[in-house]
């Protein structure tokens, strides 16, 4: 995971609620096997319209995006945060986020920042004027600074720690290998039917045999 | 200390906590991992880069569904474009390299991952199931804790068979009384989303309960849980009962014999205790639910089939007025008009929401001796090869084809505009799928979500119809 400590840059306002991940990155652009290059097709349907904010200077260099409630609802596609990041957006400010999108941001070093609707509306009005559209955020101190003021914000201790340190989450979890193994042993004793016994199709036609058959064939 | 009364969600959660990580974040064990071609390539690449293996290949099942062509496969498999082929080929390379169970495209059991999981008996009560797809909530119909994840989490599960999770809040949606004649699980879930909004259950795991939920068959329960994500929920679930146990008795990979008896004893304990506390409760009277249809570009923009499209000028909230006006402009609709009678170009029956045999039977039952209206493209896409075979054994394929519907191969098809099945700009579609977002079924496409019977009725009439009027 990429780390996030502080960020300074232009903020762009998208004064809409329920911006879904299909709108952020349309389904037809999901056919990629890498994470890069999706910034070009970020918000593709909006960018077909002349005057879309992210195509105008200075917001074409935006690092912050400000939107209304339930940002990132819909599909679980991580391609949506990849596209935002590829464009240059590293902090999204909204009153609320969809759960999967929120998690996907954290995994990619994007700070999803929750503020009250009142605060968000004030920041949007600042972002609409190029002279007041610059903002800064410091994650360690949990402070967002903007033209004429600053505010603190909440974030879970786990999320903050992981973002600051750019934690390799898989590596950290692998340090729990003994606990995982012991969970599996308890599972095998108490709920053995939950143990995964599927076989690769070139080893056996697993889907045409019963579980007992699969067990005997080992 | 004895635990106090717990919700169904809390019980499954407690049984899967491996360790505490930090604060209230825990390492949660994952029993089943379903993998598709779209959200996995970067996860496998991550494993490769770090030199990691898949921890539990036997708990993992891969299948291609999003990208696949639903054209006839009797003379081989085709793809709409080279990128789709490349993604499916990448999945096939990855399952081979990492030794993962895989249902090949040519296999008769291929299908949408959320349809084949339950068919095979991979989906079990009390289990945790994840997939890089938001509609993983479908599996909650069996009393499993099932939720969608992003690609980074797919990699994490492949490598560790766990996820770092913070506890969700619990929400109870109790549906009392009986659904009326011709009112389906799809209408119920659209009614609920219309009531609480697309963010109404954010941060919560919904447990659906009550007489109207118990009365639903497994297909209806899967439709209900499937669309809980459209209300923002982390997952949707229903306490397992005899209908679940009967389903699992014939599912090939479900436990058998003595192991089944032990499992049944455990499964019977999977219900919210008397006095368990929920953070949020919604009580719905099933007799208030009508056939529903969406008019806008969010699943919460929904009205009854006999309803009037909202008129933005009648709204007092200026931001709401702008939002509704924008949706109507995109949808090419006029506020104040009746939704019934709106002409359609395409009718789509299928998807993980409504691509099961019961859905196809419901759609076929309204056809009678009528034919698809001139100028309408009507397609039926079974959710899996097994659903297709079952429908053919019942003669449903003949009923559809004789009436002018296309009878296609299994896949996600026109639900999400990734494969060759797409709307053209401006086309209007009566659809059994789950999302009516702008461009979801193809750029510029206009989606109206509704039940399978309503889509079939719309295909025959050439326009959106109120099924209760259409039947008379």
Indicate the domain borders of chain B: 8-167+242-266, 169-238+272-288, 295-470
Superfamily of domain B8-167+242-266 in CATH is Aconitase, domain 3 (3.30.499.10)
User: Does A195 lie in the same domain as A125?
Assistant: no
Q: Which of A70, A103, A179 sits opposite B198 (nearest CB)?
A: A70
User: Does A188 lie in the same domain as A108?
Assistant: no
User: Does A65 lie in the same domain as A28?
Assistant: yes
User: Does A85 lie in the same domain as A110?
Assistant: yes
Q: What is the pLDDT of residue A216?
A: 31
Could you tell me which CATH number the domain at B169-238+272-288 has?
3.40.1060.10
Q: What is the pLDDT of residue A211?
A: 30
The fold adopted by the segment(s) B295-470 is Aconitase; domain 3 (3.30.499)
Reported ipTM: the value is: 0.96
Contacts of A201 in chain B (CB under 8 A): 101-104, 107
Q: What is the pLDDT of residue A209?
A: 29
Residue A112 falls in which region: left (phi positive, over 0), alpha (psi -120 to 50) or beta: beta
Minimum distance, in Å, between the CA of residue B121 and any CA atom of chain A:
10
Contact B446, B429 (CB under 8 A): yes
pLDDT category, A200, cuts 50, 70, 90? low
Give the pLDDT confidence of A41-97 residue by residue, as tens digits. Answer: 999 999 988 999 999 999 999 999 999 999 999 999 999 999 999 999 999 999 999
Going by C-alpha positions, the residue among B331, B333, B359 that lies closest to residue B441 is B331
Contact B87 A31 (CB under 8 A): yes
pLDDT higher than 90, residue A205: no
Domains B8-167+242-266 and B169-238+272-288 agree in fold = no
User: Does A189 lie in the same domain as A151?
Assistant: no
Contacts of B204 in chain A (CB under 8 A): none
Q: What is the pLDDT of residue B75?
A: 84
Question: Which segments of chain B have a pLDDT < 50?
Answer: 472
Give the pLDDT confidence of B114-165 residue by residue, as tens digits. Answer: 999 999 999 999 999 999 999 999 999 999 999 999 999 999 999 999 999 9
Q: What is the pLDDT of residue A212?
A: 33
Contact A11, A65 (CB under 8 A): yes
Q: Is position A105 within any domain?
A: yes
- Whether A99 and chain B come into contact, CB under 8 Å, resolves to yes
B65: Cα within 13 Å, side-chain hemisphere: 36
User: Does A150 lie in the same domain as A49?
Assistant: yes
Q: Which of B61, B255, B323 sits opposite A198 (nearest CB)?
A: B61
Contact B418 A30 (CB under 8 A): yes
Contact A145, A136 (CB under 8 A): yes
Q: What is the pLDDT of residue B453?
A: 97
Alpha helix stretches (DSSP H) within chain A? 21-24, 44-47, 79-87, 99-107, 117-127, 157-165, 169-174, 177-190, 211-216
Contact A196 B127 (CB under 8 A): no
Estimate the share of chain B in helix, then strand, then coil, as percent rounded to the nearest 5.
40, 20, 45
User: Does A117 lie in the same domain as A184?
Assistant: no
Q: What is the pLDDT of residue B470?
A: 62
Q: How many CB atoms are located within 10 Å of the residue B2 CB?
A: 3
Q: What is the pLDDT of residue A215?
A: 33
Q: Rounded distance, CA B258 to CA B261, Å?
A: 5
Could you give the C-alpha distances from B149 to B220, B294, B355, B386, in angstroms and in order? 24, 27, 22, 27
pLDDT higher than 80, residue A207: no
Estimate the share of chain A in helix, then strand, then coil, as percent rounded to the nearest 5.
45, 15, 40
pLDDT higher than 60, residue A111: yes
Contacts of A125 in chain B (CB under 8 A): none
Instruction: Name the average pLDDT for chain A.
Output: 91
Q: What is the pLDDT of residue A217?
A: 31
Minimum distance, in Å, between the CA of residue B125 and any CA atom of chain A:
9
Contact A196 B57 (CB under 8 A): yes
User: Does A145 lie in the same domain as A44?
Assistant: yes
Number of structural domains chain A divides into: 2
Q: Which long-range contacts (CB under 8 A, 24 or more apart) does A48-53 make?
A: A53/A12, A53/A13, A53/A14
Residue A75: φ, ψ to 5° = -60, 155
User: Does A193 lie in the same domain as A98?
Assistant: no
Bridge partners of B33, per DSSP, are B60, B130
- With 0-12 CB in 10 A as exposed, 13-18 as middle and 19+ as buried, what is B27? buried
User: Does A99 lie in the same domain as A71?
Assistant: yes
Two structure tokens written together for A46: 């909006």
Q: Rounded distance, CA B433 to CA B447, Å?
A: 9
Indicate which CATH number applies to the domain containing A89.
Answer: 3.20.19.10
Q: What is the pLDDT of residue A201?
A: 59
Show the domain range for A158.
Answer: 6-165
Going by C-alpha positions, the residue among B264, B254, B267, B273 that lies closest to residue B172 is B273
pLDDT higher than 60, residue A202: no
User: Does A79 lie in the same domain as A107?
Assistant: yes
Going by C-alpha positions, the residue among B137, B96, B69, B93 that lies closest to residue B413 is B69
Q: What is the pLDDT of residue B2?
A: 61
User: Does A189 lie in the same domain as A156?
Assistant: no
Contact B252 A207 (CB under 8 A): yes
pLDDT higher than 70, residue A214: no
Mutate to test the interface with A, among B90, B235, B253, B298 (most CBs of A within 10 A): B253
pLDDT higher than 60, residue A34: yes
- With 0-12 CB in 10 A as exposed, 13-18 as middle and 19+ as buried, what is A39? middle
Q: Is position A171 within any domain?
A: no
Q: Which of residues 177-206 of A touch B (CB under 8 A)?
A: 179-180, 183-184, 187, 191-202, 206
């Amino acid at each position: 995971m990429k780390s996030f400590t502080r960020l300074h840059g232009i903020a762009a306002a998208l004064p809409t609620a329920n911006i879904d991940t299909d709108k952020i990155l349309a389904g037809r652009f999901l056919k990629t096997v890498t994470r890069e290059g999706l910034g070009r097709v970020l918000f593709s349907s909006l960018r077909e319209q002349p005057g879309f904010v992210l195509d105008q200077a200075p917001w074409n260099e935006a690092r912050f995006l400000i939107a209304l409630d339930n940002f990132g609802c819909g599909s679980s596609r991580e391609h949506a945060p990849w596209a935002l990041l590829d464009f240059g957006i590293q902090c999204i400010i909204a009153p609320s986020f969809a759960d999967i999108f929120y998690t996907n941001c954290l995994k990619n070093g994007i700070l999803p920042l929750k503020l009250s609707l009142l605060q968000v509306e004030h920041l949007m009005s600042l972002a609409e004027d190029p002279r007041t559209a610059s903002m800064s955020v410091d994650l360690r101190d949990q402070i967002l600074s903007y033209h004429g003021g600053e505010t603190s914000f909440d974030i879970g201790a786990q999320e903050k720690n992981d973002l600051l340190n750019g934690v390799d989450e898989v590596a950290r979890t692998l340090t729990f290998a003994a606990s995982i193994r012991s969970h599996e042993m308890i599972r095998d004793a108490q709920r053995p039917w939950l143990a995964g016994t599927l076989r690769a199709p070139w080893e056996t036609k697993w889907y045409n045999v019963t579980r007992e058959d699969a067990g005997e064939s080992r | 200390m004895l635990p106090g009364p717990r919700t169904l969600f809390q019980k499954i959660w407690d049984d899967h906590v491996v360790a505490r990580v930090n604060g209230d974040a825990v390492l949660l064990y994952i029993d089943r991992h379903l993998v598709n071609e779209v959200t996995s390539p970067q996860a496998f690449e991550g494993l490769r880069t770090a030199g990691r293996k898949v921890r539990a290949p036997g708990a993992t099942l891969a299948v291609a569904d999003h990208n696949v062509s639903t054209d006839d496969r009797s003379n081989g498999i085709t793809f709409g474009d080279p990128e789709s082929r490349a993604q499916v080929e990448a999945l096939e390379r990855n399952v081979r390299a990492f030794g993962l169970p895989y249902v090949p495209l040519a296999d008769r059991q291929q299908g949408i991952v959320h349809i084949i999981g339950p068919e095979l008996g991979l989906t079990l009560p009390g289990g945790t199931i994840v997939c890089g797809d938001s509609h993983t909530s479908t599996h909650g119909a069996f009393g499993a804790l099932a939720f969608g994840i992003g690609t980074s989490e797919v990699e994490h599960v492949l490598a560790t068979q766990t996820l770092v999770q913070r506890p969700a809040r619990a929400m109870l949606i109790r549906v009392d009384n009986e659904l009326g004649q011709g009112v389906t699980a799809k209408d119920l879930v659209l009614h609920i989303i219309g009531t609480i909004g697309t963010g109404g259950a954010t941060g919560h795991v919904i447990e659906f309960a009550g007489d109207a939920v118990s009365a639903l068959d497994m297909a209806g329960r899967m439709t209900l849980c499937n669309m809980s994500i459209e209300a923002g929920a982390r997952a949707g679930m229903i306490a397992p009962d005899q209908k679940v146990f009967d389903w699992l008795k014939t599912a090939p990979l479900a436990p058998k014999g003595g192991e089944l008896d032990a499992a049944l004893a455990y499964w019977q304990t999977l219900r919210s205790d008397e006095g368990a506390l929920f953070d949020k409760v919604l009580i719905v009277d099933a007799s208030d639910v009508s056939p529903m249809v969406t008019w806008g570009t969010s699943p919460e923009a929904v009205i009854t089939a006999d309803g009037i499209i909202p008129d933005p000028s009648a709204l007092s909230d200026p931001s709401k007025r702008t939002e509704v006006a924008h949706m109507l402009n995109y949808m090419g609709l006029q506020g104040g008009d009746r939704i019934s009678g709106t002409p359609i170009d395409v009718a789509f029956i299928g998807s993980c929401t409504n691509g099961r045999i019961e859905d196809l039977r419901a759609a076929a039952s309204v056809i009678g001796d009528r034919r698809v209206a001139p100028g309408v493209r009507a397609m039926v896409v079974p959710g899996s090869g097994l659903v297709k075979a079952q429908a053919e054994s019942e003669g449903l394929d003949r009923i559809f084809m004789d009436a002018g519907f296309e009878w296609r191969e299994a896949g996600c098809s026109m639900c999400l505009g990734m494969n060759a099945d797409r709307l053209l700009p401006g086309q209007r579609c009566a659809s059994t799928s789950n999302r009516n977002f702008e461009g979801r079924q193809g750029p510029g496409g206009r989606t109206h979500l509704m039940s399978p019977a309503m889509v079939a009725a719309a295909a025959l009439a050439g326009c959106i119809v109120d099924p209760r009027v259409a039947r008379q």
